[in-house]
Amino acid sequence: MNRHDLLTVLAATGTVAAGVAVAYMASNESHAAVQTSPAVRAVSPAPALPSTTGASLVVDAANAFLTTFSEKQKTVAQIDLTSSNAGRWSNFPAGVVPRNGVYFRDLNSDQTAAALKVARLALSSEGFSRFQETRATDDYFAKHDTGPGGPGGRRGGGPGGPPPGGFGGPGGPPPGGFGGPGGGPGGMTNLFGHGNYIIAFLGKPSKTTPWLLQLGGHHIAFNIYYKGEAGSATPYFVGVQPITWKDASGKTHTPLAPMHDAMHDLVNSLTQDQLAQARLSASFSDVYVGPGRDGQFPEREGAPVSELSDASKKLVKQAIAAWTGDTAQGAEYRKLYYAELNQTKVAYSGATALSDEGDYVRIDGPHVWIEFACQASDHYHTIWRDRVTDYGAEFSF
């Protein structure tokens, strides 16, 4: 079901307030009506995965975190490693599209500290900072969005702690708990805010057998796969709304500035001939290979990086680093992607200002796939995927 149909159904049943549905349908209407058919991934031996620094430390921290739960709660935090479970992430709020795992709103202070330790070890310092900044931005949005009832009215969900009932996960909540649309006090009050982000373990955290760590919520989705000391860090979705804001101390926050600026500078470094070659015929107000579209990569289009100036090639590398730098495997990914630059293309749609709805840039190579989409002037969506090793190449799509 597409976003429009989903929100229409939820609004009709009273699960989502009509105003919320209208706002989201307006801001997320797809303009990518025309696109070439997805490429089919060929059957081949399992690809090599990047080495993952500190993987054993992540396993130890994950298992320590799980010991803080009852056996019943563990069945929510840790679920089976399957393709359907792995693909259960979204760029919609968790109150609209439920996630795997446990919500931060349901954790006590010790459990929160243990969960954040897992995140800190699994991500680079930049990635952990982006995770926290994205959650803080959701708090700001919850507080300042002007729905019915004034700021934060229809879209509450910032700090507040867990209500009675506890956890909720795949298949809906236990009696009195969270887990899906309508959960929590006041029905759909928990759309936005740092507490509506999750941590989940697909498979048992292990130093030998495969498992997947998910960290996510409305505007972020890390899918970090481990198999011994190797692993992968994609798909990685990150978005932001608003794109800039000030906290109570007056500090300015711009969570996606490195990503936006890298893509903006790249597309504006192209010559007129290169821009003509890079321009896509389709238009986009969201990422194309987003949630629910695993493996659905189109054929490569755009201007070949091999024909760009040295300055533009440097900007391609800078853009790739903006996403890969959030992960513990970033150096390994960059080594691979930079070696494939001559087989990589840059494409765009909309305006090169990269400042309003429909402005869109992508980098597409044998492995690397990065998209930056402006949903509106104050709302960005981005995704980094690997054409070959999403979810550690554990599944076929």
In a 3-state reduction of DSSP, which class is residue 37?
coil
Mean pLDDT, residues 27-55: 59
Q: Find the helix packing angle between 3-12 and 18-28, rounded to 10°.
A: 170
Between 171 and 304, the higher pLDDT residue: 304
Q: What value does the CA radius of gyration of the chain take, rounded to a whole number of Å?
A: 20
370, amino acid identity: I
Q: What percent of the chain lies above the pLDDT cut of 70?
A: 78
pLDDT band at 152 (very low <50, low <70, confident <90, very high): very low
Indicate the pLDDT class of residue 144, thresholds 50, 70 and 90: confident
Triad 8, 11, 12: Cα angle to 5°: 85
Q: State the Cα–Cα distance between residues 98 and 232, nearest whole angstrom.
A: 24
The letter for the amino acid at 160 is G
pLDDT of residue 162: 29
Least Cα distance to 116 among 140, 102, 132 occurs for 132
Asked if 366 contacts 306 with a C-beta cutoff of 8 angstroms, the reply is no
- Cα–Cα dist 217/84, whole Å: 17
Helix (H, G, I), strand (E, B) or coil at 374: strand
pLDDT digits (tens, 9 = 90+) for 123-141: 999 999 999 999 999 999 9
Higher pLDDT, 11 or 53: 53
Which of 39-48, 159-168, 299-308 is predicted most confidently?
Answer: 299-308
- Read off the tokens for 295: 């493996």
pLDDT at 120: 98
Q: How far from the centroid of its chain's Cα atoms is residue 353's Cα?
A: 23
At residue 381, the pLDDT reads 98
Q: Name the token pair of 248.
A: 């109570």
Q: Residue 34 pLDDT > 60, yes or no? A: no
Instruction: Give the pairing of strands 236-240 and 360-364.
Output: unpaired
What rounded mean pLDDT belongs to the chain?
A: 83
Does residue 64 have a pLDDT over 50? yes
| Phi, psi angles (nearest 5°) of residue 362 | -135, 155
User: How does pLDDT run across 232-290, given as a tens digit for each residue?
Assistant: 999 999 999 999 999 999 999 999 999 999 999 999 999 999 999 999 999 999 999 99
Residue range 86-104: mean pLDDT, rounded: 94
Beta strands in 195-307 (DSSP E): 198-202, 211-217, 220-227, 230-232, 236-240, 245-246, 252-253, 303-304
Separate counts of helices (H) and strands (E) for the chain: 11, 16
Cβ 244 vs Cβ 136: under 8 Å: no
Query: Is residue 368 helix, strand or coil?
Result: strand
Strand 198-202 to 78-79 pairing: parallel
Q: Which amino acid is it at 107?
A: L
Residue 393 has pLDDT above 80, yes or no: yes
Burial 165-199 (b: 16+ CB within 10 A, else e): bbbbbbeebbeebbbbbbbbeeebbbbbbbbbbbb
Query: What's the confidence (pLDDT) of residue 397?
Result: 85
* pLDDT score for 253: 97
**Would you say 365 and 386 are in contact if contact means Cβ atoms under 8 Å apart?**
no
State pTM to two decimals: 0.83
The greatest distance separating any two alpha carbons of the chain, rounded to the nearest whole angstrom, comes to 62
Percent of the chain with pLDDT over 90: 73
More confident residue, 100 or 41: 100
> Which residues pair with residue 178 across a beta bridge?
none
In this prediction, residues 336-362 reach a mean pLDDT of 98
- pLDDT band with cut points at 50, 70 and 90 for residue 85: very high
Alpha helices in the chain (DSSP H): 3-12, 18-28, 55-66, 71-77, 83-86, 109-122, 125-144, 257-267, 272-278, 310-324, 330-339
pLDDT of residue 146: 57
pLDDT of residue 358: 97
Per residue in 174-196, pLDDT (tens digit) is 322 323 332 332 223 468 999 99
Residue 291's identity, in one-letter code, is: P
pLDDT of residue 24: 46
- Burial track 108-127 (b if 16+ CB lie within 10 A, e otherwise): eeebbebbbbbbbbbbbebb
Q: Is the pLDDT of residue 389 over 90?
A: yes
